[in-house]
């Protein structure tokens, strides 16, 4: 059967196919997750210290893990945990903060897509929330 444009109606209904819908929905889901991640990163980077401190950043990390459906594990090391581990440099920088230090460790476990052994990749980042850049701001 021909349509007004002269094309087969079956061809015009290509976008209604189940396979296309599944692929389209997956793409939308991935794009939405990516956009949310980008906006969250921007919000974290642009937040002033009176809004984003060690506690609120730790809460954000815990929320990310909670929403990941088990793919991200979040471990927060408190000051005592850091002292036990001998993290002197970290604790030295943290002494200048009004809020207690939090060492945030996120672990991502992707879905296993095949029987192949996956390579492990480590990403290390520094999240100093307030750094005066070496200025002497002591009152004495």
What pLDDT, on a 0 to 100 scale, did the predictor assign at position 76? 95
Which sign, positive or negative, has the C-alpha torsion 43, 46, 48, 54?
positive
Place of tokens 């970290």: 90
What is the model's pTM?
A: 0.69
The average confidence (pLDDT) of the chain is 80
For the stretch 14-70, pLDDT in tens is 556 666 667 888 889 999 999 999 999 999 988 888 888 899 999 999 999 999 888
Instruction: Write out pLDDT tens, residues 67-108.
Output: 988 889 999 999 999 999 999 988 988 887 888 999 999 998
**Which tokens sit at 53?**
């401190």
Tokens linked to 26: 């997956």
Q: H or E segment at 77?
A: strand 72-77
């Amino acid at each position: 059967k021909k349509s007004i444009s002269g094309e087969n109606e079956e061809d015009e209904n290509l976008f209604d196919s189940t396979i296309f819908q599944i692929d389209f929905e997956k793409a939308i889901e991935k794009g939405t997750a990516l956009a949310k991640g980008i906006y969250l990163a921007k919000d974290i980077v642009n937040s002033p210290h009176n809004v984003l401190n060690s506690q609120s950043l730790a809460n954000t990390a815990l929320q990310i893990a909670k929403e990941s459906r088990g793919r991200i594990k979040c471990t927060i090391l408190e000051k005592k945990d850091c002292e036990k581990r001998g993290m002197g440099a970290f604790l030295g920088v943290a002494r200048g903060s009004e809020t207690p230090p939090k060492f945030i460790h996120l672990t991502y476990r992707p879905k296993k897509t095949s029987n192949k052994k996956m390579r492990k990749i480590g990403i290390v980042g520094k999240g100093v929330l307030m750094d005066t850049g070496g200025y002497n701001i002591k009152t004495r």
